[in-house]
Amino acid sequence: MPFSSYTAGLFEEEVRRNTQLAAYRTRRKRRGMARHMKPDDVIKRLSDLGVTIGRMTLSRYVNSELITPPDRRHGGKGVGPIVDYPEYAILEAAAAADLIQNKAWSRKDVLEARERLFEIAQGKRGFDYHKKTGPETFNRLLNEARQSNTNEFDFVKQVVAISRANVYWTTLEKYNQLNQKMDQQK
């Protein structure tokens, strides 16, 4: 008889302990970043800036490397995949959409201008490349191209590439200022 009373007590203790832990085990755990910018958030912010694109277009821009790709990871059981766009992807998407829709650039033209702007900013990625570049940088590059001893065809190619990077930079700057004004109004 003492053995069965011991096992009954052990069983009751285990049940009591598990009921205490049940509330802790069912609580949702926080992992990773607290704030996520989903594709719908990016599209909404773009519409606030006056640019209308769809989810498929945003996906095409990511696949074509016209904007910085989002951080993708799995959120765990019951959460599914998490897609987190960086803040400056909104400005890059706005600039790309503006150049493609209003200025009739191809995606290849936008990509070349973006890559040229990265080169001008000494290969720095992220939105800092935009802030560290300005009109004086483009003027200096045009003067260097003018003074270089290249044939006319190469000179024209350099000038076109620099000019496109300048247009891309100017478009980014326009949407950056518009975004800052909207943030101040909120």
Our count of domains for the chain comes to: 1
Q: Which domain does 103 fall in, by range?
A: 39-180
In whole angstroms, give the CA distance from residue 4 to residue 41: 61
Tokens of 68: 């910085």
Residue 9 falls inside a structural domain: no
User: pTM to 2 decimals?
Assistant: 0.70
130 touches 117 (CB < 8 A):
yes
Using the predicted structure, report yes or no on whether residue 147 has a pLDDT greater than 90.
Answer: no
Percent of the chain with pLDDT over 90: 20
81-104 pLDDT, tens digit per residue, is 888 898 888 888 999 999 999 888
Residue 28 falls inside a structural domain: no
